[in-house]
Structures are given as structure tokens and as C-alpha cells.
Amino acid sequence: MSMFNLFRRQSSAPIARERLQILLAHERSVRGQSDLLAVLREEILAVIEKHFPIERENVQIKMDRGDAVSILEIDVEIPNSAGLLRSA
């Protein structure tokens, strides 16, 4: 360490700036995603409900973001009492 550094504290603003940039890039992407998921969830529920009654909590919608592709996963639990599978 040179004498110069002894008298000069490392500046903290560039660190603050970098931490914020990384954090906000993440938070902005999550924000957009959760909105999109909420919209998708409502629309998918509406489509399913047109055909048979479902419990809303039995529908899981997830988005896994990857670098090349993302996966939208929709899990719908249908009670056998709905009569859907028997008629097939």
C-alpha cells in the first residue's frame, strides 16, 4: 500500500451504484414477470372454468426463466367428480 492510499479512503459510491444496478435489474424483471403471470393465471382459469368447475387453489402456474428458453408450467388438478375423464 502506498502512502497515498493511507490517506485516501476507497470511495464507496461506485460500489453503491453497482449494487443498485444489479439489484434493480433483477427486481424489474421479477416485477414484469409477476404481472404477466397474474394475467396469464386469470385468463387460463377463465378458459378452464368454461368447461368444468375447478378449485382456484388447485391451479399452479409457474414460469422458469432460463437463458435460452423459459418454461411455463401449468398444473391443473381436476377432481374425478367433474366427470370429465369418465366420458372420454
Partner 1 sequence: MAKVLVVTSGKGGVGKTTSTAALGAALAQSGQSVVVVDFDVGLRNLDLVMGAERRVVFDLINVVQGVAKLPQALIRDKRIETLWLLPASQTRDKDALTEEGVGRVIADLRAKFDWVICDSPAGIERGATLAMRFADAAVIVTNPEVSSVRDSDRMIGLLDSKTERAEKGQRIEKHILITRYDAARAARGEMLSIEDVLEILSTPLLGIIPESEEVLRASNLGSPVTLNNVASAPARAYMAAARRLKGEDVPMTIPNDKKGLFDKLFGRRAA
Q: Toward partner 1, which CB reaches closer, 26 or 65?
A: 26
The Cα–Cα gap between 5 and 58 comes to: 61
Least distance to partner 1, CB of residue 44, Å? 21
Copy the grid coordinates of residue 7. 490517506
Contacts of residues 81-85 at CB distance under 8 Å and 24 or more positions apart, as own/partner, are 82/52, 82/53, 82/54, 83/52, 84/51, 84/52
> What does the binding site for partner 1 look like in residue numbers (CB under 8 A)?
11-14, 16-17, 19-21, 23-24, 27-28, 31, 35
Least distance to partner 1, CB of residue 51, Å? 31
Least distance to partner 1, CB of residue 72, Å? 22
Q: Toward partner 1, which CB reaches closer, 19 or 51?
A: 19
Q: Toward partner 1, which CB reaches closer, 22 or 84?
A: 22
Nearest to 47 by CA among 83, 74, 15: 74
